[in-house]
Structure 1
Amino acid sequence: MERLVDGVCALPDGRPPWCAGAVVLAGRGPVVAAEAATGWALRYRAHDPGRDRGVDLARERREPMRVGTVFDLASVSKLFTAIAAVQQVERGRLDLEAEVASRLPGFAGSGITVRQLLTHTSGLRPELPFYERDGRAAQLELLWSEAAAPEAPPGGTYRYSDLNLIALQLVLEDLTGRGLDVLVRDGITGPLGMSSTSYGPLAPQGVAATEDQRRPWAKADRGMVRGEVHDENAWALGGVAGHAGLFSTAQDLAVLCRTLLNGGGYGTARILGPDGVAALLDPPGLGFAVDQPYFMGELAGRGAAGHAGFTGTSVVLDRATDTFLVLLANTVHPRRRAGGSAPRAAAATCLARAAARAG
């Protein structure tokens, strides 16, 4: 596993490395089977568009990757929003079959349900340019317009959309009268002792850098992003969003994985009941992707669940073998490109084969 992690920072044939640095943590049952870091949390000072490559910092100014480095989780944040929603379902306060319009008048007439948000069957398009609008009201007008005329009929085929989790955040905040950051802190990270998991902004030291955000390759001109959310829409929405915005470490995410594999409890803390965990992880999954080989490799096929994030992050947990894998990388440093998920799938396959050999 350690050799595989080293390899993701040094691809052959002159191609750019998949990432500047990475951390992997894999476990089975209560045992951490592998934990390693490689590469750089901060390597580049900028991206050079003329040469289409990063501008290296002097070696003494770089920051090495460590197993405790904090990462922008990108869409892995969606798992926390989904857990917060299922917690409200367990308490009898949220009905999965309820129409979103019962909480958000802007969805009136859409027929979209809470379950459809969580299963990406609402018909909403993948994203909207909130970053082009000033002010919350103007941003949400985009969402209301989309809800009035979604790209596809609600209840149809799977269509992955950030808008689903943004809308779910608004539902939860209207239902509870608390911000999503408070719901996540009080209901998940606080009870589980995940002290390195929070929404930004964070002090940059110890945080993996993401992108030198500039147009035309990015959607905003922000320079090198480090400690602030990479996703432009989450940034425009104030840094706390249902689809992105959380920062965390591999160790903290391992605690979350073990909690779910344990049926919702960890130590003396319990954040969900077994039925709630099953609702999240059983196909088709509520907020969780299920059996997706592109980042789960050979762990996929028996009900493995998790999520991947645009910045290079992924979490996979497999109830069939009681194993989990956290792979965190800064693949968008110094700029985004279509790097694929082969290293994530390869790491998951390595774990699947190790579990098979161990029996």
Structure 2
Amino acid sequence: MRSLPEGPRPWCAGAVVLAGRGPVIAAAEATGWAVRYSAYGEETDAGVELPPELRVPMTVDTPFDLASLTKLCTTVAVVQQLERGTLALDAPVARYVPECTGVAAHGITVRHLLTHTSGLRPELPLYDLPDRAARLRALHTEEPSAGIGTHRYSDLNMLLLQQILERVTRRGLDLLIRDGITRPLGMTATAFGPRPGAAATEDQRLPWAKADRGMLRGEVHDENAWALGGVAGHAGLFATAHDLAILCRALLLGGSYGTARILGPDHVELMLTAPGLGFAVDQAWFMGELAGRGAAGHTGFTGTSLVLDRATDTFLVLLANTVHPRRRPPDNGPRVRAATALARAAATPPRGH
């Protein structure tokens, strides 16, 4: 990858890209800085640069705050319970968590949550409530505000799925993901925070953010995940590009990697077939030319994304700290260009053919 420009507003302070086909890693490159700024300067509307000797270079092993890529592991954990028969896809949420009265009155099911068709609004300001009990009460009593069955992306879906998982298994989401996904796959760099060595995210302050927390590094960026203690169904995981590549390979191989099996092929198919359970499928706004042939993946607010394309047995992990030092309206252009470059490379016959 080329070096990032030193101007006041590059797309990100630093990035890692990792692409592969089959068992081969075709590219693994890092550029820029894991930590470049000490703060965001309101007067200059630019980051306050650290002296060069205090900046932290990005490496291919730098952990990132995955933000909404956390949803993919929550989804796999849910589908594991579907496979084991402890959950039913079309069962009402209230069967598992009766205190979820807000969705119970509307017959919202596990499928509605996984496909973002519950009608729930995108988020609740849980970070403004005084304690965990009040936050959970608000989540449990929230009712749909849009038509059920219409796609409306919402963090609340994944928070409710976390509630269901923890109720039926009597285990925390962090343990379910560790024991059911990351440990068997050997994803040793993936876990909920804190993660002190991670790429920095935002100088999180009002009014542009939802809380006053200062420059964040290794602490979950998402304010609701933070308010819930850092372990949440929609955000909170940290990981490296190599670990995410392992997850991609496991899914491309039908749920197995090496000697580990986290899902059976039929349930991977269920998860990755349009419209997708937890995974976005054929979304050109971040998949570029990988869209349109069954490619699946997700993005995260902090600048993270992954795409896996079963048609060509390829995958792309792009991790960037785009909110360092401050969140901006998202620019998906680099994601689209990277995915399109992978699609064209995968379509090009090897030399000599």
The counterpart of 2:15, out of the listed 8, 13, 22, is: 22
Instruction: Provide the C-alpha distance between the structure 2 equivalents of 1:29 and 1:91, rounded to a whole number of angstroms.
Output: 28
2:52 to 39, 59, 71: 59
The residue type paired with residue 295 of structure 1 is F
Letter in 2 for 1:117: L
Q: Which amino acid aligns with 2:147?
A: P
Q: One-letter code of the match for 2:333?
A: A
C-alpha distance in 2 between matches for 1:339 and 1:54:
17
Q: Which moved more, 1:284-293 or 1:103-112?
A: 103-112
How far 1:286 moved relative to its partner? 0.4
From 140, 153, 166, give the equivalent of 2:159. Answer: 166
1:151 maps to 145
> Is structure 2 residue 86 aligned with structure 1 residue 93?
yes
Three-state SS of the structure 1 residue aligned to 2:334 is: helix
Contact conserved, 2:18 with 2:242, CA < 8 A, in 1?
yes
- Structure 2 distance, partners of 1:263, 1:219, is 40
> What is the one-letter code of the residue matched to 1:58?
P
1:276 equivalenced with 2:267 (yes/no): yes
CA deviations over 1:133-159 (Å, ceiling 9, x no partner): 121220122223323xx11132x2100
In 1, the alpha carbon distance for the partners of 2:119 and 2:337 equals 32
CA contact (8 A) 1:72 1:229 kept: yes
CA–CA distance in structure 1, aligned partners of residues 191 and 297 of structure 2: 19
Gaps of 5+ in 1: none
Matched with 1:250 is 241
Q: Is 1:342 equivalent to 2:333 in the alignment?
A: yes
Question: Please, which of 229, 232, 237 is the counterpart of residue 241 of structure 1?
Answer: 232
- Do structure 1's residue 31 and structure 2's residue 30 form an aligned pair? no
2:109 equivalent to 1:141: no
1:41 aligns with 2:37: no
Question: What's the secondary structure of 1:95's corresponding residue?
Answer: coil
**Of 308, 314, 323, the match for 1:317:** 308
CA offsets, 1:291-320, max 9 Å, x none?
A: 111111111110100100000000100000
**Residue among 90, 99, 106 paired with 1:110:** 106
Equivalent pairs counted in the alignment come to: 347
TM superposition shift of 1:15: 6.8
- TM-score of the two chains, using structure 1 as the length reference: 0.95
In structure 2, distance between residues paired with 1:213 and 1:152: 30
Give the superposition deviation at 1:170: 0.3
Q: Which residue of 2 aligns with 1:190?
A: 183
Shift in Å, 1:358:
2.8
Kept after mapping to 2: 8 A contact 1:195/1:252:
yes
CA distance in 2, matches of 1:74, 1:290: 19
Could you list the per-position Cα deviations for residues 72-91 of structure 1 after superposition, in whole angstroms to 9, with x for gaps in the alignment?
A: 00000000000000000000
Alpha carbons 1:10, 1:18 under 8 Å: kept: no
Q: Contact conserved, 1:101 with 1:110, CA < 8 A, in 2?
A: no
The alpha-carbon deviation at position 339 of structure 1 amounts to 3.5
Q: How far has the Cα of 1:249 moved from its partner? A: 0.2
Deviation at 1:262, TM superposition (A): 0.4
Q: Which amino acid aligns with 1:294?
A: W
**Percent identity at matched positions?**
69
- In the alignment, does 2:287 pair up with 1:293? no
Moved more, 334-343 or 175-184: 334-343
1:302 aligns to what?
293
Which whole-Å CA distance do the structure 2 matches of 1:62 and 1:35 have between them? 22
Summarize deviations over 1:238-262 as a string: whole Å, max 9, x none.
Answer: 1000000000000000000000000
Alpha-carbon separation, structure 2, partners of 1:354 and 1:345: 14
Q: What's the CA shift string for 1:228-278, capped at 9, x where partnerless?
A: 100000000110000000000000000000000000000000000001100
- AA partner of residue 41 (structure 1): A
Change (3 A) 1:24 1:189: same
Match of 2:5 in 1: 10
CA deviation profile, 1:5-35 (whole Å, cap 9, x unmatched)? x4xx339xx6711000000000001111111
- Cα distance in 1, alignment partners of residues 147 and 285 from structure 2: 27
Could you tell me which runs of 5 or more consecutive residues in structure 2 were left unpaired when the two chains were aligned.
none
Query: Which residue identity lines up with residue 229 of structure 1 in the other structure?
Result: V
CA RMSD across the alignment = 1.1
Q: How many Å separate the matches in 2 of 1:262 and 1:127? A: 34
Whether the aligned pair in 2 keeps the contact of 1:25 and 1:325 (CA below 8 Å) is: yes
Task: Report the AA paired with residue 113 of structure 1.
Answer: T
TM-score, normalised by the number of residues in structure 2: 0.96
**Runs of 4+ in structure 1 displaced over 3 angstroms?**
none
Give the Å deviation of 1:162.
Answer: 0.3
